[in-house]
């Protein structure tokens, strides 16, 4: 398959008609389209997907150029279209997808008709023949199935997702020309309910009663169930492979970001310490306010106490009145005529006189008692503030130490935040890993249960077939059908053995090709491994002779480039080999181009140079939509392979055009 040209009309940024011809020269097989961000580079890749499959990943459904839409009159119509002209198996095809747009009255959204697909091919006499519309999409899928398209119309910025691009096994089979043989194997598989052999078994005469007929129905039902279980098993195995790959990726990311993880954990610890210190600071500040408020007046009056004592001594008014006694209390006792000791005061004038004397010493009659109480208060205050200065000083020291620690923690936090800027959240990787482990465990348990059910189902099928064979009526019809079954079984075994051997060879060839290409692209000592489901991982010697998983965005880019290039290289070699056979079975494959948007986004200068050397060697045709700055690194290694060079010119946010250079 070679792409000859693409024509865009009113498609997104590309107003009116834009035609891009691609180099089909065997020597200069590279076409380069240069453009800056937001100029319309990705739109070109999306144009291929929309034309061939009716799919895009734009956030809005409107495909028509905004300027063209603005210029349309009310109730008028216009068309959006993309046309791809390509050559496949030595036949020219023209594929065109069109959408009609109608502009409605003011303030109403335009109406977008359902896109239509038209496919034409060129006959030997040069005339173009249109394929019936009902077969148009099938024809496109036969040229390049949608499931495989992601390997050839590729967004380089998301190249790390290569392991998650749908059913990789089916993709490789299709590219290697093995899908048809795989379908033939399924067509004869005796375990499948609708296979040739199963249908022949249904034709056998085993008797006429209802029980005999039910046996056939049970056998057919059991085979249908088995087929469903095996499909589910394959699906679960693919899911397990996905979660296993995801685990490897997450483990590698966690390991690769160990320093970041340590910083993030340190940041969390410091934030926790800072929260504690800030809370403690508030407590200390409240304590020093309480301590100061409670005893500060006593402390600041301390220097006055000696002077107070001297004044009191000089005044000689420090009476001996009974503390806390009130004059009203004594008056009550005298009127009652009975002392608190029980003595009768009415008969003891001497006692009354003594009491009257004590009453005279009490305020307001005598100031001495008040002075004496005041002196005692001063002495008590003096005692209470003996450690006051140390308490306040201790509070202040705690407050300053706490404040200094807060400043230190804030400085550490600011530095860690600076170091972590732009880094990944390793905690998220670890949470994802826990959830991934949970899913993986559940899927493995499910696989065990499905495998057990498959075993039981096979035993049931074997038992039913044995019973049915024992009931067969010896007729000429049954003899003939049994001979057909025997032939079909031999054909199935032949297909199966041949296919298994060929797929094993394909895996080995692909492994060799990918590692050879990886060694050309990568300047280091790493290897690529491929499992049975064609998932790829990068391995590195840990210094002890043990190869462990290794990953980084840059390494993943090179690894996945090697994978894509390896598949394309193998398909090209198969297509160039005449008389491809599977143990005598003819099969064919077709070389495919590589069409990539932003192919070098995650690669460094050295890897860009290496990749630029390899791609033109392995692909029949290379189409690169690349930023000007990235092309500077690739140009010196790829320039002699460039047959066509274009520049995307951005006129506004809604309008760009494509100009050919030279």
pTM of the model as a whole = 0.56
Long-range contacts (CB closer than 8 Å, 24 or more residues apart) made by 423-432? 423/257, 423/260, 423/263, 424/253, 424/257, 424/260, 425/264, 426/253, 426/254, 426/257, 426/260, 426/261, 426/264, 427/261, 427/264, 429/250, 429/253, 429/254, 429/257, 430/250, 430/254, 430/261, 432/246, 432/250
How many angstroms separate the CA atoms of 481 and 554, rounded?
61
Residue 256: alpha-carbon gap to chain centroid: 17
How many angstroms separate the CA atoms of 77 and 13, rounded?
19
Which pLDDT value is given to residue 212?
65
Helix axes 258-300, 426-471, angle to 10 degrees: 140
How many angstroms separate the CA atoms of 253 and 248, rounded?
8
**CB-based contact 240:443 (threshold 8 Å):** yes
Strand partners, 120: 94, 130
Which two structure tokens, joined as six digits, stand for 601? Answer: 């986004």
Q: What is the pLDDT of residues 49-65, one digit of tens each?
A: 999 999 888 877 788 99
Report the chain's mean pLDDT, rounded to a whole number.
80
- H or E segment at 14? strand 14-21
For 421, phi and psi rounded to 5 degrees? -60, 125
Instruction: Provide the 10 A C-beta neighbour count for residue 419.
Output: 14
Which pLDDT value is given to residue 577?
60
Percent of the chain with pLDDT over 70: 82
Instruction: Provide the 10 A C-beta neighbour count for residue 385.
Output: 18
Number of domains the chain contains:
1
Q: How confident is the model at residue 157 (pLDDT cuts 50, 70, 90)?
A: low
Tell whether 356 is covered by a domain: no
Helix axes 368-384, 305-315, angle to 10 degrees: 160
Which two structure tokens, joined as six digits, stand for 255? Answer: 């390991």
Q: Is 149 exposed, middle or buried, given 0-12, 13-18 or 19+ CB atoms closer than 10 A?
A: buried
- Mean pLDDT of all residues in 586-598: 69
Report the CATH number that the domain containing residue 40 is assigned in CATH. Answer: 3.40.50.300
Q: What is the DSSP string of 197-260?
A: HHHHHHHS---SSHHHHHHHHHHHHHHHHHHHHHHHHHHHHHHHHHHHHHHHHHHHHHHHTHHH
Which pLDDT value is given to residue 570?
73
Which pLDDT value is given to residue 162?
58
Helix axes 196-203, 179-188, angle to 10 degrees: 20
Query: Between these two residues, 321 and 31, which has the higher pLDDT value?
Result: 31
Tell whether 375 is covered by a domain: no
Residue partners of 24: CB distance under 8 A and separation at least 6: 2, 4, 87, 621, 643
Q: How confident is the model at residue 588 (pLDDT cuts 50, 70, 90)?
A: very low
Is residue 580 predicted with pLDDT exceeding 80? no
Which pLDDT value is given to residue 460?
86
- H or E segment at 393? helix 388-420
**CB-based contact 113:26 (threshold 8 Å):** no
Is residue 277 predicted with pLDDT exceeding 80? yes
Helix axes 196-203, 476-521, angle to 10 degrees: 170
- The residue among 531, 546, 524, 280 whose CA lies nearest residue 405 is 280
Which pLDDT value is given to residue 78?
92
**Tokens 């409240």 identify what position?**
286
The whole domain housing 598 covers 2-144+592-660
The CA-CA-CA angle for residues 79, 84, 88, to 5°, reads 155
Instruction: Provide the 10 A C-beta neighbour count for residue 124.
Output: 6
């Amino acid at each position: 398959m070679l792409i000859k040209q693409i024509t865009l009309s009113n498609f997104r940024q590309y107003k009116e008609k834009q035609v891009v011809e691609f180099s089909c020269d065997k020597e200069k097989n590279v076409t380069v389209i240069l453009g800056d961000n937001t100029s319309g580079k990705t739109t070109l890749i999306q144009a291929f997907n929309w034309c061939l499959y009716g799919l895009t990943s734009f956030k809005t459904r409107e495909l028509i150029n905004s300027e063209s839409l603005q210029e349309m009159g009310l109730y008028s119509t216009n068309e959006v279209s993309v046309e791809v002209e390509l050559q496949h198996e030595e036949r020219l095809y023209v594929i065109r997808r069109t959408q009609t747009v109608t502009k409605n009255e003011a303030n109403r959204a335009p109406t977008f008709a359902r896109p239509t697909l038209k496919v034409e091919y060129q006959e030997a006499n040069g005339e173009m023949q249109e394929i019936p519309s009902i077969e148009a999409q099938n024809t496109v899928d036969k040229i390049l199935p949608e499931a495989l398209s992601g390997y050839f119309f590729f967004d380089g910025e998301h190249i790390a997702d290569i392991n998650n691009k749908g059913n990789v096994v089916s993709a490789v089979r299709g590219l290697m020309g093995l899908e048809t043989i795989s379908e033939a194997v399924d067509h004869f598989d005796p375990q499948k309910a609708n296979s040739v052999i199963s249908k022949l078994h249904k034709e056998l005469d085993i008797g006429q009663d209802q029980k005999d007929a039910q046996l056939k129905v049970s056998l057919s039902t059991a085979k249908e169930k088995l087929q469903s279980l095996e499909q589910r098993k394959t699906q679960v195995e693919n899911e397990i492979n996905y979660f296993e790959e995801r685990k490897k990726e997450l483990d590698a990311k966690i390991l690769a970001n160990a320093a970041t993880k340590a910083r993030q954990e340190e940041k969390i610890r410091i934030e926790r310490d800072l929260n504690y210190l800030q809370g403690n600071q508030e407590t200390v500040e409240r304590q020093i306010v309480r301590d100061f408020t409670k005893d500060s007046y006593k402390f600041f009056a301390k220097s006055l106490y000696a002077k107070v004592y001297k004044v009191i001594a000089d005044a000689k008014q420090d009476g001996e009145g009974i503390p806390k006694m009130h004059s009203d209390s004594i008056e009550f006792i005298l009127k009652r005529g009975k002392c608190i000791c029980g003595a009768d005061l009415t008969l003891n004038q001497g006692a009354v006189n003594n009491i009257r004397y004590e009453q005279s010493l009490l305020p307001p009659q005598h100031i001495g008692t008040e002075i004496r109480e005041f002196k005692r208060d001063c002495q008590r205050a003096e005692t209470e503030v003996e450690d006051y200065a140390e308490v306040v000083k201790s509070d202040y020291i705690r407050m300053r130490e706490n404040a200094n620690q807060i400043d230190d923690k804030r400085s550490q936090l600011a530095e860690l935040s600076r170091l972590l800027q732009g880094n990944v959240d390793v905690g998220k990787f670890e949470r994802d890993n826990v959830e991934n482990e949970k899913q993986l465990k559940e899927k493995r348990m499910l696989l065990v249960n499905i495998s057990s059910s498959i075993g039981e189902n096979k035993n049931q099928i074997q038992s039913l077939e044995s019973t049915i064979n024992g009931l067969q009526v010896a007729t000429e019809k049954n003899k003939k059908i049994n001979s057909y079954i025997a032939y079909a079984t031999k054909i199935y075994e032949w297909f199966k053995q041949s296919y298994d051997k060929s797929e094993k060879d394909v895996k080995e060839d692909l492994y060799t090709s990918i590692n050879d290409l990886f060694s050309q692209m990568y300047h280091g000592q790493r290897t690529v491994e491929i499992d049975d489901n064609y998932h790829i991982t990068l391995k590195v010697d840990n210094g002890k002779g043990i190869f462990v998983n290794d990953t980084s965005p840059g390494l993943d880019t090179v690894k996945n480039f090697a994978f894509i290039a390896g598949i394309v290289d193998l398909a090209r070699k198969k297509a160039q080999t005449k008389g491809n056979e599977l143990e005598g079975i003819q099969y064919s494959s077709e070389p495919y181009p590589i069409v990539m948007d932003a192919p070098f986004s995650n690669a460094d200068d050295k890897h860009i140079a290496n990749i630029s050397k390899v791609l033109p060697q392995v692909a029949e045709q290379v189409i690169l939509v690349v930023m000007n700055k990235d092309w500077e690194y690739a140009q010196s290694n790829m320039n002699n392979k460039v047959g066509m060079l274009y520049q995307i010119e951005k006129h506004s946010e809604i309008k760009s055009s494509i100009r050919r250079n030279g």
